[in-house]
Amino acid sequence: MASSIGGGDVRKRGVPERPKLTFRQVLRLSIYIFLGLFLILFLVFYLLYLASQREPEFYREAKNVPIEVQQTRNTAVLDKIRVLNNDFQNRSKKWSGVFTADEINAYLAVEATKPGANLLPSDLAEPRIAFSAGSVEIASKVRQHGFTAILNISLGATMPEPDKLIFKMRRSQAGVLPLPKERIAEIIAGVLRKKWGNVTQGTDGGDPTFTVILNIKNSVGRKVKVESFEIRSGVIQFSGVTD
C-alpha cells in the first residue's frame, strides 16, 4: 500500500504531529509580541527624549546665576545701551561698544522675561549665549507641538566690510542629537530678516551661511555705520561712526 512505501504516512513512522495553536493561544502570543514592540519603541523614544534634553555646560552655568547678580549685570547693560544711543546721535562721532556674554545673558534673563517684552520668538525660552574667538554658541529651550527640547547651535561670525555680517552655521543640535543645519539656518535667517530685512543665504564648505546687511539709523534718520565687529573669548566688541 502507499502508506508502506517511503514517504508514506508519517504518523505510522513515529514522527509526532506539530500541535495546533488554539485561537486563544494565537491571540495571547500576538498580544505579547505587540507589548514587546511597544516597550522597545517606548524605550527608544524615551532615550531620544533624554538625549534632546541634554544641556551644554555653559547653559547650565548661565541659568544658575543668582537673580541679584543678573539684575546688577542687566543694569550695566542698560547703561551701556543708553551711552551708545547718545553717541549714535552725534554726527561724525566715533563710537564703540563692548559687552560680555555674562552681561548679555543677564539682559536675556531679566529684560526678555518682562511682560510684553516681545524680544524673543514665542517658541523660545531661557536663551543663553557663550563667546569664543570668532564664534557664538547659543542654547535655548524650544517648544514645538507640545514637545520641549534644548536647541544648541554654534555660529561663526565675521565682518569682512562695514555693515556686512556673515554668519556660518557650524553645529545644530537638540541636546546631543544632530539637527539638519540647513533647516535651522532657514529659521534663523527668517528671524534676522524680520529684524534687519536684507539677509541672503548661501553655503561655505558645505555649511549654511547667511549674510546680513545692516542698515541702522539714529533717531533723526542718519546712517549709523558699523565699521568693525569682533567676537573674542567671553566678549563681543564693535565700533563705527554716524554719517
CB 128 within 8 A of CB 136: no
pLDDT in tens, 146-194: 778 899 999 999 999 999 999 999 999 988 888 888 888 888 888 778 7
Classify each residue of 203-230 as buried b or exposed e, where b means 16 or more C-beta atoms within 10 Å of its C-beta: eeeebbbbbbebeeebeeebebebeebe
Average confidence score pLDDT of the chain:
85
pLDDT in tens, 74-125: 999 999 999 999 999 888 789 999 999 999 999 999 998 888 777 777 788 8
Q: Is the pLDDT score of 197 beyond 90? A: no
Up-side HSE of residue 189: CA atoms within 13 Å toward CB? 22
Q: Is the pTM of this model over 0.85?
A: no
Q: Is the pLDDT score of 3 beyond 50? A: no
Alpha-helical (H) ranges within the chain are 23-52, 57-63, 67-88, 101-110, 181-196
Q: Residue with C-alpha cell 519603541?
A: 41
Q: Is the dihedral of CA 58, 63, 66, 67 positive or negative?
A: positive
pLDDT in tens, 46-85: 676 777 778 899 999 999 999 999 999 999 999 999 999 9
Q: Is the pLDDT score of 10 beyond 70? A: no
CB count in 10 Å sphere of residue 14: 6
Please report the pLDDT score of residue 66 as a whole number: 95
